[in-house]
Amino acid sequence: MKFYIESLHLWLKTDQRRSVTFLPNKVNVITGDSHTGKTAILDIVDYCMFASKHRISESIINENVAWYGLRIHVNDKIYTLARRAPAGTTTSSDYYFSSIGEVSDSAPIPNISESVLKKQLSADFGIDQDVKIPFGGRTLQAGSRVSLRYFLLFNTISQDLITHSDQFFDKQNEPRYQEALPRIFDIAVGIDTVENILKREKRAELERSLARLEKLTAKTQEKRDQFNAQLAETVARAKGYGLVAGDTDADASVAALKRMVTERESGPDLHVSAQYEEISSQLYRVTRKIRGLRKFASEYGNHKVTLKETADSLQPVEYLMRNYEETVRTSVFDDILRNLSEGLQQIKDATARKTPLDSNISEIIKALETQRQKLEKDLQALPAEMESFETDKDKYIFIGETKAKLELYADPESEKALDNSELIANLEAEIEDLAVSPVNDRQELFTRALDEAIQDYISLTKAALGNYGDYRSAFNYTEKKLQLRKPRTASTENVGSSSNHMFLHLFLFLGLHELIMRNDGIHVAPFLIIDQFSRPYWGEDDQEDGEGEKDVDQSDVAKVKLALELLDQFITTANEMGKEFQMIVFEHINPRYWDGLKNVHLVEIFRDGNALIPVSRLD
């Protein structure tokens, strides 16, 4: 992105125009006395860029100004935008805009609304109006639009901020900006992209739709289960009263209940108790058969074991048969041996094969078990004793309750049993196809690159940091602040003095802008306004001819010069990258401090009657 402020304009109530001109690609310094309007320039820039409240001093400045304006260069276009001066603390909604950078001598005439002008500049800053805040807070709501003003947090270091020990961005005492910073930081520095954010938002929307659909499916199933449970209970009671036949299946039972409540048709008296007794009797007989068959199977098994043992005792017969010629035989030997041999063979035949009786008994027992389970289920569905209504009134009350339950639970949609599986599958596929780049790894890489860039600035200004000159940059991504880490340790330290805090603020902002430019960032303008970075030191700046100055490394003068050298070097670094960068610095130091620095430009000196609104303009 290309951007710089060419000039600032004040249309005075005396029909005069006061202009201050700045150069691109330079460190523009306005120096001078206190109470001359230097800091007001920062407030005026902020006011022209759609501030909802202002800090412009009423005395001398606002009381004498009718309009404030800027002439800016944005991506090879020249704009003039102006805003009517606030009335006391009330900001104005009157804006003037020229797309060709026209600046008239007379006070502007309103010609554009704030929303249209903001939309125009937002487009130039690459801020899509469809991009929403990804997550909400106490002040910012999730889904609200990202504002151009959030990105201006990267362009100012106010005098209140520059020596702050814990805050590194302006407006952090305002909840809106405090919540905005972590929400737009990744977009601003190039960790995340607008395209990726839109994809992430689309994915989140699809995931919410999927969650709703899955919840609806679960709820529908729960309702269906609840209906079935209520239906089963009602059917059981109806059967108990003899209003529905006991052998009726579920669908037929529901149909019978509906006919009962609509046509007042009820079933015959089915003597449920008799049914209960009949099923109980059948269950008893089946159970008894199973028990008898199992006893028979056990005894039959024992019989086969006994036969096997008998066969083992007749093993000597086989020996005698094999050694028949060697035995001493009597007259009855052959008959005894033959009978024993035949008996042994019969025993072997009986124990060697599985008879049909073995498998038949198992199959019969299995079939009887199935029958018993069915009888037990049927028995549970019937009351043990026949229920009856004491009066017809009780009967009609039951029928009324049944009708109410059918109407309450039998939702017509539930019968259709909507199948959302295809919709769920389509959403899951769409979510899977929507590739969203993770930012965690990029955050870590960005932090490393930022620390590397800042380390170069630390080396350049090492002498000004005293004991911390050899420390390492340690950017705290979570808290968005810069700390210093002692070499070869993992702990950070409190750097103490306001001078060191001032340098840390410069390091962080220069490092952020360097990486934004290297990443060709389009959301953060390449300019920086710094208000009095010498604030931690000064008591000797206005002494003429440098009296009292001590140009040694540890002196305040040397630190101020090192800070100016740092800013000057940053412009050179930007140029070496093929980029341009503008700085506007408000100070009260003498020009001699930047002698020899090629990138520092003196805009004006506010002294001896010259000021943002010169004394001569007030007469």
CB atoms within 10 A of CB 235: 22
> CA-to-CA distance for 122 and 197, rounded, in angstroms?
17
Provide the token pair at 198. 């839109």
CB atoms within 10 A of CB 227: 18
pTM of structure: 0.65
pLDDT digits (tens, 9 = 90+) for 556-578: 888 999 999 999 999 999 999 99
Q: Which residues pair with 67 in a beta bridge?
A: 11, 84
Cα–Cα distances in angstroms (integers) from residue 328 to residues 317, 334, 340, 447, in the given order: 14, 11, 17, 110
User: Is-contact 398 241, C-beta < 8 A?
Assistant: yes
For 508-543, letters b (16+ CB in 10 Å) and e give bbbbbbbbbbeeebbbbbbbbbbbbbbbbbeeebee
Helix runs in 550-610, H state only: 556-576
pLDDT surpassing 80 at residue 539: no
pLDDT, residue 344, reads: 66
In which order are the strands placed within the sheet that holds 492-493?
A: 472-476, 481-485, 492-493
SS3 state of residue 555: coil
Residues 6+ apart with CB under 8 A from 141: 133
- Which of 144-148, 187-191, 310-314, 379-383: highest mean pLDDT? 187-191
pLDDT surpassing 90 at residue 523: yes
pLDDT, residue 37, reads: 94
CA–chain centroid gap for 463, Å, is 44
* Element holding 21 (H helix, E strand): strand 17-21
Dihedral, CA atoms, 522, 528, 529, 535, nearest 10 degrees?
150
CA–chain centroid gap for 168, Å, is 26
> CA-to-CA distance for 106 and 128, rounded, in angstroms?
35
Lowest mean pLDDT among 229-238, 482-491, 529-538: 229-238
Region 295-319: what's the mean pLDDT?
74
SS3 state of residue 461: coil
pLDDT, residue 477, reads: 95
- Provide φ and ψ at 95, rounded to 5°: -130, 150
Cα–Cα distances in angstroms (integers) from residue 610 to residues 36, 42, 44, 444, 543, in the given order: 8, 18, 18, 49, 20
What region, left, alpha or beta, does residue 282 occupy, with left being phi > 0 and alpha being psi -120 to 50 degrees? alpha
Provide the token pair at 524. 């953060």
pLDDT digits (tens, 9 = 90+) for 32-51: 999 999 999 999 999 999 99
pLDDT digits (tens, 9 = 90+) for 464-501: 998 999 999 999 999 999 999 999 998 898 888 899 99
Provide the token pair at 184. 């737009």
Provide the token pair at 155. 């362009």
Residues 6+ apart with CB under 8 A from 192: 186, 439, 442
pLDDT, residue 213, reads: 85
Q: Percent of the chain, pLDDT > 70?
A: 79
Residue 317, Cβ density class (10 Å: 0-12 exposed, 13-18 middle, ≥19 buried): buried
| Four-residue CA torsion sign, 80, 85, 86, 87 | negative
Provide the token pair at 510. 């220069």
Residue 246 identity (one-letter amino acid) = G
pLDDT, residue 552, reads: 36
User: Is-contact 572 599, C-beta < 8 A?
Assistant: yes
Provide the token pair at 566. 């740092």
The residue to which tokens 């086989």 are assigned: 318
Residues 6+ apart with CB under 8 A from 379: 276, 279, 280, 283
User: Helix/strand/coil (H, E, C) string of 82-102?
Assistant: EEECCECCECCCCEEEECCCC
Helices and strands per DSSP (H, E), number in the chain: 17, 13
Residues 6+ apart with CB under 8 A from 76: 2
- Which of 368-372, 384-388, 602-606: highest mean pLDDT? 602-606
Going by pLDDT thresholds of 50, 70 and 90, the confidence category of residue 320 is low
What region, left, alpha or beta, does residue 545 occupy, with left being phi > 0 and alpha being psi -120 to 50 degrees? left
Q: Which fold has domain 1-125+525-565+585-619?
A: Rossmann fold (3.40.50)
pLDDT, residue 337, reads: 67
Tell which residue, 86, 66, 83, 157, has the closest CA to residue 118. Answer: 83
Share the mean pLDDT of the chain. Answer: 83
pLDDT, residue 271, reads: 45
SS3 state of residue 383: coil
pLDDT surpassing 70 at residue 543: no
Residue 573 identity (one-letter amino acid) = T
pLDDT surpassing 60 at residue 391: yes
Region 435-447: what's the mean pLDDT?
87
Tell which residue, 255, 252, 250, 219, has the closest CA to residue 233. Answer: 250
pLDDT surpassing 70 at residue 504: yes
Higher confidence at residue 272 or residue 393? 393
Tell which residue, 149, 93, 166, 80, has the closest CA to residue 524. Answer: 149
Tell which residue, 578, 561, 459, has the closest CA to residue 514. Answer: 578
pLDDT, residue 410, reads: 56
pLDDT, residue 269, reads: 44
Query: How many residues are present in the chain?
Result: 619
> CA-to-CA distance for 73 and 79, rounded, in angstroms?
6
User: Could you tell me the maximum CA-CA distance found in the chain, to the nearest angstrom?
Assistant: 166
pLDDT surpassing 90 at residue 431: no
Kind of pairing between the strands at 17-21 and 27-32 = unpaired
Cα–Cα distances in angstroms (integers) from residue 229 to residues 215, 235, 527, in the given order: 21, 10, 71
